[in-house]
Structure 1
Amino acid sequence: MSLLGTLLVLLVAAEHFYIAYLEMTQIPSEKAAKLFQLPYEFLQQKSVQNMFSNQGLYNGFLAAGLLWAQFAAPDNARFPATMLFLGFVLIAAAWGTFSTGNKSIVLKQGLPAALAALAVWAAA
């Protein structure tokens, strides 16, 4: 795998660890309300906090999967595992954009994953 591909995959992993951190530990906060474009009062509901926490866990799994694919997967599984987890990120970005109507999701989450996938694929 190329250095560029590895760096882009690590960037995607870092982004998803950050999202996991926000969703699992920063709900409710004014920062999260602004970032997720939701009323602070809405984020104060326990059910909403539980939902975000669960969602954050899944984002953490995506990031952990990308790190595993880069550093712990057997050599013959590194490429398919990386592409699998990047594919999951792309699907999540597409669904997030479709389900919320927020086009910035596909740019903020999908574009880095797409660039990483292209770099990984080009080096294969």
Structure 2
Amino acid sequence: MSIVSIVLASLVAVEFFYIFYLESIATKSNKTRKVFNINKDDQANETVVTLFKNQGIYNGLLGVLILIAVFYLHNIVVTGLLMGYIILVAVYGAVTSQPKILLMQGGLPILTLISLFFK
């Protein structure tokens, strides 16, 4: 795996750790409200908070899996599969929620996936 791929994949992991932070730790912060475009009433709703925290765990663990694939397994295929998964989720989010999600959540993974084809 090239140094460019390693750096890009690491940045994707950092992005997902940040999403984890917003969703699971800073759930009721102004930054979380702004990033996810939710209103104060929804943000105060305990059911929404619980759902956010649950989703955050998924994102945090995805970041961990990326780091394992890159630094422990040194596996281009696993890293590529994880990037493909993230891209598909970003496409779904763009179609069902906000089109900008494709670039916000999928931009770095797209670049990472492309970089994996070059040595």
**Mapped partners of 2:6, 2:42: distance in 1:** 38
Aligned 1:20-99 pairs, distance under 5 A: 20-73=20-73, 75=74, 78-99=75-96
User: C-alpha displacement at 1:79, in angstroms?
Assistant: 1.1
Whole-angstrom distance in 2 between the partners of 1:13 and 1:23: 15
Give distance in 2, aligned partners of 1:89 and 1:119: 15
Give the counterpart letter for 1:90 in structure 2: I
Contact preservation (8 Å) 1:13, 1:62: yes
Between the aligned partners of 2:23 and 2:59, the Cα distance in structure 1 is: 9
In structure 2, C-alpha distance between the alignment counterparts of 1:121 and 1:64, rounded to whole Å: 23
After TM superposition, give the deviation of residue 15 of structure 1 in Å.
0.3
Structure 2: gaps of 5 or more residues: none
Counterpart check, 1:120 vs 2:116: yes
Q: Is the 8 A contact 1:62 1:88 kept in 2?
A: no
How big is the alpha-carbon RMSD for the aligned residues of Structure 1 and Structure 2?
A: 1.0
Q: Distance in 1 between matches of 2:91 and 2:66?
A: 18
Residue 57 of structure 1, CA deviation: 0.7
Helix, strand or coil at the partner of 2:116: helix
Deviation, 1:104, is: 1.5
1:104 aligns with 2:95: no
Give the TM-score, by structure 1 length. 0.91
Percentage identity across paired residues of the two chains: 33
Task: Give the 4+ runs in structure 1 shifted more than 2 A.
Answer: none
1:78-119 per-residue CA deviation (whole Å, 9 max, x = no partner) reads: 01110111111111111111111x121111111110000110
Name the TM-score, length of structure 2 as normaliser: 0.95
Confirm or deny: 8 A CA contact 1:6 1:120 kept in the other structure: no
Q: Distance in 2 between matches of 1:26 and 1:96?
A: 22
